A and B are shown apart, each in its own frame.
Chain A
Amino acid sequence: MTQEFEFTDELAELRTMVRDFCAEVSPESTVRETMITDTGSDSALWRRLAAELGVLGLAVPEAYGGEGAGLVYQAVVVEELGAALVCGPVLGTVCLAMPALAALSDAAVRADYLPALAKGERVATLAVPTHGGTFSPDRVTVTATPAESGWTLSGALAQVPDGTTADLLLVAARTGSGVALFAVEGDTEGVARTALSTLDLTRRQADIVLHDVAARRVADESECPSVCERALLVASALLAVEQVGGAQRMLDATVAHVRDRLQFGRPIGSFQAVKHRCADMLVSLEQARSVAYHAVWALEDGTDDARLAVSLARAVASESYLWISTSAIQLHGGLGFTWEGSPHLYLKRATTDALLLGTAGEHIEHVAARTVDLASAAD
């Protein structure tokens, strides 16, 4: 374990390795080709990330096919995948499903599902209702019925991330005595998926209807809330570093552009109006980076109120990524508004990220409840 904010040589090498891999295997041209395919996902690339780099299961214990390196390592990878807009089930599999499975108390369930995900052989997602980025059991509408062997689930799941491609669905469903978590094989009879047209073509969702689908209960009613909450916290922290990765890429692209682009006989980056906006983009990015890394370290080490650290990270990183990507469009000029330019790809990812797992406003509300409201309550 490293001290907070200490990036060892090993972490730096991991970052370089993933960055180089993405540049070679998933350059922007490849992203553009993949994002207009039916699934919007490159399954061959996904398997290579696992087989050649071994970077999908860094936070998964070795006993379950992972590397056991921890969340900080996983965060570095997600940051780089986000910087390159790699088309794959990062959100569903790495951010949501793996942390949920890893949090289960039943070792047999972990052993059954995690290794295939870590090896990139299968992909998964977590489909549970949320409100403001937290697990919301009151909103569970899927019903679970005991069957001869196991359970059957019925109901509708809206806007499931990576729902089109997931081989494994982790679904919260209502039993007679509460809400439990179930595993559903994607190819089971009775699973009907409808791919949704998404703002961000590189991050797809699906509506899924379950009709008497055979399912396995993986967390009972007492365990389900803590498993889901843990998964959502980890996913949010990873999403925050992904936002940092994308924002960094947009800052780099913008700085390169304003350095080269000549107007009035000078590079436009030499004008203070442009230079100062770039400086403000860097400042915003550095702030987001600090809170995103803090959230990851805090979750790994248990050194802070997890909800506070995560909501702080998401509030700052969401607004930062959005502002940096809109600034990139502005500073790229007309080119920034074209389909050929790269900024729109990042604006769309930034917009999507900022609306998933809690909006900036919702996360600010979580922070308010844990800070300002406590100051008032102390009267």
Chain B
Amino acid sequence: MTTTAPSIAPDAAMIEKVARDVVTAHPPRDVPLTELMGAWYDAGLTWVHFPEGLGGLRAPRSLQPVANRVMREAGGPEPRTVNTIGYGIVAGTIRRYASPEQASRLLRPLATGEEKWCQLFSEPSAGSDLAGLATRAVQETGDAVTPGGGDWIVNGQKVWTSLAHTSRWAVLLARTDPDVPKHKGLTYFILDMTTPGVEVRPLRQLTGRAQFNEVFLDNVRIPDAQRFGAVGEGWIVANSTLGDERTSLGDRVPARGSGVIADALALWQAHPERHTPVLRERLTRLWIRAETHRLTSDRTRVAAATQATAGPGSAVTKLVGSELTQHVYEFCMELLGPAGTLIDTYSPDAPDDESGPTAIQRKYLRSRATTLEGGTSEIQRNVIGERVLKLPQEPRADKKIPWRDVPR
């Protein structure tokens, strides 16, 4: 493994040069993806703010877009798409909580996409109220072989798990103490999805596709070495994961007129026969919202990189972006008129949302998830109200009583 070790503090020019060297030596269009992304990782470009040897260069996080731009211009992938959950959501938690040996074992195949990751957090009765989850992990007594503590035996059911059917690894939040209030009795693990007792069942969505899964855990054995953070402190670790989930979105600020609004503009251009003043105003207002959202994302990124205290950024951009997506596709359907009533397929393995004659219709249906996934809009508004504006918290009947006694 070769690691570029800069003798000076990394700056944009240096990142750009390192990135150009990688895409020159490994032309993205010619070499296998895993080779390209492996070289990218070894050069410290996967997460530039990570330590050397772990996919980074200890550079300011604000320089990540410089590296990603070079990759994009060379015809390579947006790095996150190689391992959607692993790249933006799990990697930071591994860096903070895994042992150095674990981190170097896990991060490189994560970065190359050879080992995909999923997130076993939500449960059928614990979505927005994530801390109310019921999956149990019980530790076997330690012995001479495992002096630090025995294996954990996990039983329960998870849901809404994106990519579980293709994942090698999962992060798992489980209840280890039902006799304390719900936030205090959780512990965080990483789980090898090939472990006996892990069953993944695809879950069909209203789009017809099966993109998410239910995951059943039946006496699944997890070594104690795969515990992140202390027993009972899983909520703290989970919050660091969720924080990365929000922050990682700031690494990519799209160009003006790109993203979902590009779909609306292209559709508008393709259907001059359906232009009306009312639709023109609606499209203009959506363009304004998209551009305003883009500028806010950019301002949030600059603030995160240059200011000591983070602004209200991530919850605001999450809320605005997801509602914008829905409104753009609602507009698109109205622009389509009667043609919008058609859809080419409800096949569970339909092609990705990006293609096909009725891609707009499928994106419209898919967009209903944007205000649910990653925290509902209602929860985002609570977060903004309570954490940003410091308004009084919702009264919580279950906050101080043992989880075992919470009505459910």
**A residues neighboring B (CB under 8 Å):** 3-7, 255, 258-259, 266-267, 269-270, 272, 275-276, 278-280, 282-283, 286-287, 289-291, 293-294, 312, 315-316, 364, 367-368, 371-373, 375-376, 378-379
Stretch with Cβ within 8 A of A (4 or more), from B2-10, B189-197, B264-272: B264-272
**B residues neighboring A (CB under 8 Å):** 257, 265, 268-269, 272, 275, 280-281, 283-285, 287-289, 291-293, 295-296, 298-299, 302-303, 306-307, 311-312, 316, 319-320, 378, 380-382, 384-386, 388-395
In the complex, chain A residues whose CB is within 8 Å of the CB of B380:
279
- A4–B295 Cα gap in the complex (Å)? 10
In the complex, chain B residues whose CB is within 8 Å of the CB of A259:
390-392
Task: Supply 19 further A-B pairs (C-beta < 8 A) apart from A282-B384, A286-B296.
Answer: A4-B302, A5-B303, A6-B302, A267-B392, A270-B392, A270-B395, A272-B382, A276-B385, A279-B382, A279-B388, A283-B384, A287-B293, A294-B295, A316-B292, A367-B284, A368-B284, A371-B284, A372-B283, A379-B272
B161 to chain A, nearest CB (A): 29
- A270–B394 Cα gap in the complex (Å)? 6
- A270–B391 Cα gap in the complex (Å)? 7
A293 near B299 with CB under 8 A, answer yes
In the complex, chain B residues whose CB is within 8 Å of the CB of A372:
265, 268, 280, 283-284, 287
In the complex, chain B residues whose CB is within 8 Å of the CB of A376:
268-269, 272, 275
In the complex, chain A residues whose CB is within 8 Å of the CB of B392:
259, 266-267, 269-270
- Picked from B287, B302, B391, the residue with its CB within 8 Å of the CB of A367 is B287
Which 10 residue pairs of A and B lie closest in terms of their CB atoms, listed nearest first?
A275-B385, A279-B384, A270-B392, A279-B381, A269-B391, A290-B295, A368-B284, A5-B302, A290-B296, A5-B299
- A280–B381 Cα gap in the complex (Å)? 7
B391 near A255 with CB under 8 A, answer yes
**Could you show 27 A-B contacts with beta carbons less than 8 Å apart?**
A5-B303, A266-B395, A270-B392, A270-B395, A272-B378, A276-B385, A279-B381, A279-B388, A282-B312, A282-B388, A283-B319, A283-B384, A286-B311, A287-B320, A289-B299, A290-B295, A290-B298, A290-B299, A291-B292, A294-B295, A316-B292, A364-B285, A367-B284, A371-B265, A372-B268, A372-B284, A379-B269
- A258–B392 Cα gap in the complex (Å)? 9
B269 near A312 with CB under 8 A, answer no
Name the CB-closest residue of A to B284. Answer: A368
- Given A4-B298, A5-B302, A255-B391, residue A279 in contact with residue B385 (CB < 8 A): yes
A323 to chain B, nearest CB (A): 14
A312 near B292 with CB under 8 A, answer yes
- Given A279-B385, A283-B384, residue A375 in contact with residue B394 (CB < 8 A): no
Q: Please report whether the interface of chain A is mostly helix, strand, loop or mixed according to DSSP.
A: helix
A275 near B386 with CB under 8 A, answer yes
A261 to chain B, nearest CB (A): 11
In the complex, chain B residues whose CB is within 8 Å of the CB of A5:
298-299, 302-303
A367 near B395 with CB under 8 A, answer no
- A272–B307 Cα gap in the complex (Å)? 31
B381 near A276 with CB under 8 A, answer yes
- A6–B285 Cα gap in the complex (Å)? 27
In the complex, chain A residues whose CB is within 8 Å of the CB of B306:
6-7
B321 to chain A, nearest CB (A): 11
Name the CB-closest residue of B to A316. Answer: B292
- Given A270-B391, A278-B389, A286-B296, residue A364 in contact with residue B288 (CB < 8 A): yes
A258 to chain B, nearest CB (A): 7
B255 to chain A, nearest CB (A): 13
- A291–B290 Cα gap in the complex (Å)? 11
Name the CB-closest residue of A to B313. Answer: A286
B307 near A7 with CB under 8 A, answer yes
B382 near A275 with CB under 8 A, answer yes
- A108–B316 Cα gap in the complex (Å)? 49
In the complex, chain A residues whose CB is within 8 Å of the CB of B316:
282-283, 286
A364 near B284 with CB under 8 A, answer yes
In the complex, chain A residues whose CB is within 8 Å of the CB of B281:
364, 368
- Picked from A3, A312, A373, the residue with its CB within 8 Å of the CB of B288 is A312
B215 to chain A, nearest CB (A): 32
In the complex, chain B residues whose CB is within 8 Å of the CB of A3:
302
In the complex, chain A residues whose CB is within 8 Å of the CB of B298:
4-5, 290
A290 near B284 with CB under 8 A, answer no
A72 to chain B, nearest CB (A): 13
- A294–B253 Cα gap in the complex (Å)? 15
- A316–B391 Cα gap in the complex (Å)? 26
- A294–B265 Cα gap in the complex (Å)? 23
- A266–B391 Cα gap in the complex (Å)? 12
A338 to chain B, nearest CB (A): 24
In the complex, chain A residues whose CB is within 8 Å of the CB of B272:
376, 379
Name the CB-closest residue of A to B293. Answer: A287
Name the CB-closest residue of B to A283. Answer: B316
- A278–B389 Cα gap in the complex (Å)? 8
In the complex, chain A residues whose CB is within 8 Å of the CB of B384:
279, 282-283
In the complex, chain B residues whose CB is within 8 Å of the CB of A293:
299
B75 to chain A, nearest CB (A): 26
Name the CB-closest residue of B to A308. Answer: B291
B394 near A272 with CB under 8 A, answer yes
- A44–B320 Cα gap in the complex (Å)? 44
In the complex, chain B residues whose CB is within 8 Å of the CB of A290:
292, 295-296, 298-299
- A266–B394 Cα gap in the complex (Å)? 10
- Name the residue in A259, A266, A286, A367 with the highest tally of chain B Cβ atoms < 10 Å from its Cβ: A286
- A368–B283 Cα gap in the complex (Å)? 8
In the complex, chain B residues whose CB is within 8 Å of the CB of A379:
269, 272
In the complex, chain A residues whose CB is within 8 Å of the CB of B302:
3-6
A275 near B299 with CB under 8 A, answer no
Name the CB-closest residue of A to B291. Answer: A312
